[in-house]
Amino acid sequence: MWTFVGLYMFIALLFLRAIVQAVVIQTVERDTWLSYAKSHIHKKVIVYSERGNIYSSDGKLMASSMPEYKIHMDTRTGALTKNNSKLFYEYVDSLSYALSEYFQDRTPEEYRQRLVNGHINKNQYLLLYPHPISFTQQKDVRRMPLFNKKGNPGGLVWEKRDTRKKPYGTLADATIGSIYSTQQKPDEKASKKEQDDVQQGEEEKDGKKRRWFFGRKQADAQDDENDEPTVIGKEEGRKGLEAYYNDVLTGKPGVGVQQKVARNTSIVLHKEPEKGNDIVTTIDTKLQDIAEAALLEELYRINAKEGYVILMEVKTGEIKAIVNKEWRESLGRYVEDKNGALSNMTEPGSTFKTASLMAAIDDGYVDITDSIDVGKGICYFYNVPMKDHNYKNGAPGTGYGKITVQNALEASSNVGISQLIVKHYGKKPEKFVNKLYDMGLNDTVKLGIHGMGRPYIRSPKNEKHPWSGTTLPWMSIGYEVLIPPIYTLTFYNAIANNGKMINPLLVKEIRSDGEVVKEFKAKVMRDKICSSNTLQQIKTALEGVVWSENYATARAAQSPYVRIAGKTGTAQIAEGGRAYQGHQVSFCGYFPIEDPQYTCICVIRKPGVGHYPSGGRMSGSVVKNIAEKTMAINGIRSVDAIVSDSTFRFQYPVFKRGMYASLQGVCKSLHIPLKDPYKKESTPPTWTRVVLNCDTLETKPIQVNTTVTPSVIGMGARDAIYAIEQTGMKVHMSGYGRVVSQSVAEGTPVSKGRIVYLELK
């Protein structure tokens, strides 16, 4: 019984002590503990969650927020300061070696010296690696000696931040846009209730009120109620879709406090942030890559200053590719910085002649079969000469003479088109301008991206820009008007779409956790831009621009695989009110002619010296390359499927030499018949080449001996590297395409480690 009484009294005393201590804390020590509590609450914070992703139409990730880490070491932590730092010196050598091997920015000795100096000086934030690392790399560092111990006695500290990554690099860079991270005061304040729920840490020192901010103390004489919450993890869109859809991608912020617990600072959330929504664009990464490669090839060839390409689906209005490239002298390469395809306000030149001719035909003034005499390629309007491209100072044989209206468009005759427009609209120019408006050329295209340009089509009623006698003839051929490329594309797409003008589309869906919350469809701007008869005549003339036997100015756009129609454009560039500076060449058209699927525009500005500006040869060839690869990637193999012309026949693609298994996979995917001489009981070769025998594809084996240098002529880069490196030699390459030469001849005995130089074209 006495044992029980003693135990009972002991427990009662413990409870009594706790009660007394609680009373003392609540009364005598109240101010002390409240001050201590305040000093451990840093500041009210607004916390942003992960930014939403941007996807392509084919499901590829084009922009995403990825975590990155800066890694530090707190040498004051735990066992590192006890027992004469025994644990530290036990692992410092192995840790130094591991860091050196992994990051390869310092030798093990340099790492060791850095760690030891930090340990001696008790450095709280010893930076281990100067650059941010990925989540995978951070996990690898945590497995290193000392850092892999339980309880983190190694003092590994990491600072996490989200950074915006583009898995496809600069692909559609200006369109996707960019962001910047900010720790500034937010545009929106937390609600009053949320602010009331948040306490702020402060202390009195030296007669000044001081507050905690991200672990540092800063003087601040303002009262707490005037303080804005600190912002953590906020990312703002700067350009492109990132900026236009910033609110959608950002999500809803959370609210909390930043609080110090023991040695660490943590955030206690009162309201969880909501992740931003994802947006799905209309861009197709394969077609985007095709368009970019085709444009860059031509830009480098002619040493042009900049160029733009837009590829658009005719029926849906979806933009499948948009490329903007500008030469950056300081970098020695083309970069994608501004979205000139959408914003560039320039005189379009001859691509505008299609609209001029459409107006005259639709008003019943002309027919494409009518005749017009352009003489030797020169005429005068108010004593100002208008010349054709083939005018040679009146020399015999120059000029087109008497031609049809269709020929005038095919040959891009300035004299022919301007004479027609002046003849029928010279006394009533406002009727011509109103007709252009009726055809939708001045309608606003809404694409969902900042920085869009708008057409400027002059009017005789505009008093700010006086109308002169030369305005109408020069306007008719694409001068004294400003049309961004996206508007020209929209107009030509309406022609391909049987007269229906639709607003281009760049974003098709907004998603939340994979579920579609909003879907976008292209809106119809005009049901008809002209009559059916006018449309048919214009289509015939645009086909002739590429395929006419005598007058085609876009012969470079002719393809044996797909028929293209469109119009060339060549214009002098006026900048800043100065005299004309260089040329702009363009081609806008659609393909295939029989059932238009895509509309494409290519604009190239300021070709280099020595390259005569030609919309057909320069921009037309780019559109041709894009059209061929676009139709091939869509599985249209045989031209007979889209062209009834018997002069066109199916041609097999060019096959590189390479691995037999890869060849089989390609032929199966493209439904190309391949004669397989290897029966089930025989083993097919590893390497093969393809020959065409009486319209049948056959394979021939290639023998590769690892003791002698193989022949990789005709192979692609991947197979060539694989074949040579199997022998133990190394490869250096230049160019792209197929291997056309190798520095070490076939059959040469292998020398391990020897470099084989390959040239690809």
Q: Once rounded to an integer, what is the mean pLDDT over residues 325-352?
A: 91
Average confidence (pLDDT) over 268-275: 74
Residue 35, classed as helix, strand or coil, is: helix
Tell me which of 372-376, 395-399, 487-491, 605-609 is least confident.
Answer: 395-399
Residue 181 has what pLDDT? 66
Q: What is the pLDDT of residues 52-108, one digit of tens each?
A: 999 999 889 999 888 788 888 887 765 555 555 788 888 889 999 999 999 888 999
Residue of 703, 653, 697 lying closest to 677 (CA atoms): 697
Q: Give mean pLDDT, residues 489-512.
A: 96
Candidates 304, 618, 296, 309; CA nearest to 485 is 309
The alpha carbon dihedral of 408, 412, 414, 415 has a sign of negative
Q: Which fold has domain 658-760?
A: Trypsin Inhibitor V; Chain A (3.30.10)
613 and 569 in contact (C-beta within 8 Å)? no
pLDDT in tens, 166-205: 888 888 889 998 887 654 333 333 333 333 333 333 333 3
Number of residues that make up the chain: 761
pLDDT digits (tens, 9 = 90+) for 650-688: 455 666 667 777 777 777 777 777 766 665 546 677 777
What is the token pair recorded at 282? 């209309």
pLDDT at 259: 63
For the segment 16-63, what is each residue's pLDDT rounded down to a tens digit? Answer: 988 988 888 888 888 877 776 666 555 677 777 788 999 999 889 999
- How many Å apart are CA 75 and CA 81, to the nearest integer? 8
How many percent of the chain have pLDDT more than 90?
A: 41
Mean pLDDT of 4-19: 89
pLDDT of residue 703: 65
Tokens encoding 579: 């005299």
Q: Domain 40-60+168-281 class?
A: alpha beta
pLDDT at 694: 53
Mean pLDDT, the chain, rounded, equals 82
50 vs 268, residue with greater confidence: 50
Give the DSSP H or E segment for 170: none
pLDDT of residue 677: 61
Helix, strand, coil distribution of the chain in percent, nearest 5: 30, 30, 40
- List the 208-213 sheet strands across, edge first: 202-205, 208-213, 216-219
- The per-residue pLDDT for 559 is 93
Rounded Cα gap, residues 618 and 303, in angstroms: 11
* Cα–Cα distance, 609 to 67 (Å, whole number): 47
- CB within 8 A of 172, min separation 6: which ones? 62, 283, 288, 321, 322, 323, 336
Return the pLDDT at 723.
82
CATH match of 288-641 with 3.90.180.10: no
Assess whether pLDDT exceeds 50 at residue 639.
no
In this prediction, residue 244 has a pLDDT band, given cuts at 50, 70 and 90, of very high
Residue 123, pLDDT > 90, answer no
Q: pLDDT confidence of 444, banded at 50, 70, 90?
A: very high
* 385 DSSP β-pair partners: 380
User: Higher confidence at residue 66 or residue 428?
Assistant: 428
Who has greater pLDDT, 738 or 520? 520
Query: Peptide bond before 473: cis, by omega within 30 degrees of 0?
Result: no
Position 224 scores a pLDDT of 40
- Predicted pLDDT of residue 408: 95
Q: What is the DSSP string of 625-662?
A: HHHHHHHHHTT---GGGT---TT----PPPPPBEEHHH
Q: pLDDT at position 562, please?
A: 93
Whole-number pLDDT of residue 56 = 93
